Homo-oligomer: A and B are copies of this chain.
Amino acid sequence: MDRLRRTRQRELVLEVVRSTMDHPTADWVHRQARRRLPRISLATVYRNLKRLAAEGLIREMHAGGQGTRFDGNTGEHHHVRCLGCGRVNDLPLSVDTRREEAAARALNFRVLGQQVEIQGLCPQCQDAADDANRNNSRQFPRPRPGRGQAKEHDRT
């Protein structure tokens, strides 16, 4: 692997990802980074996010929808995701997955990690869903992971 160089943009990207408990998308990181370095390009943000993840300084997360998200917390932990707006929060508890790992070994897998995600509706999306169901008949029926998420609430 090439030697990692400390550039203004790389340090900024890392700082932005680490600055929040949310799990930002590349686009969000780009918007934040721009406030301090207006000429930073989205491509650079992507390249740095990928490189930082490869170096183990941040984590890439998939699941739940269209965009990849990044996590500044590299420790073992799990997540809650809002199926309404896509927001992801940390869950500090650990899960016992010994049985899963045993099963995986039975399939001859070499176990390297795990991922636990609880899915639901955040308070704001519960309100939206309830409102919709009250007025109309069913604006927010059986929400499920995947396509068609609403725009995420703004983060500070």
Q: Which positions in A face B, CB cutoff 8 Å?
A: 1, 50, 53-54, 56, 60-65, 68, 78, 80, 82-83, 89, 91-93, 95-97, 99-101, 103-104, 107-123, 126, 141-147
Contacts and interface: CB of A to CB of B under 8 A. Distances in A.
Contacts of A103: 80, 91-93, 118
B68 A80 contact: no
A103 B143 CA distance: 21
A141 B99 CA distance: 26
Contacts of A100: 78, 80, 91, 93, 95, 116, 118
A90 to B, nearest CB: 10
Nearest to A114: B118
When all copies of this chain in the complex are counted, the total is 2
Contacts of A146: 53, 60, 62, 68
A113 B145 CA distance: 9
Contacts of A121: 109-110, 112
Residue from the set A95, A97, A109, A145 with the largest chain B CB neighbour count within 10 Å:
A109
Contacts of A53: 144, 146
11 contacts: A50-B147, A60-B144, A62-B64, A63-B115, A91-B100, A92-B103, A95-B116, A109-B121, A113-B120, A113-B145, A116-B117
B119 A117 contact: no
Contact of A80 (B64, B82, B107, B119): B107
Contacts of A65: 62
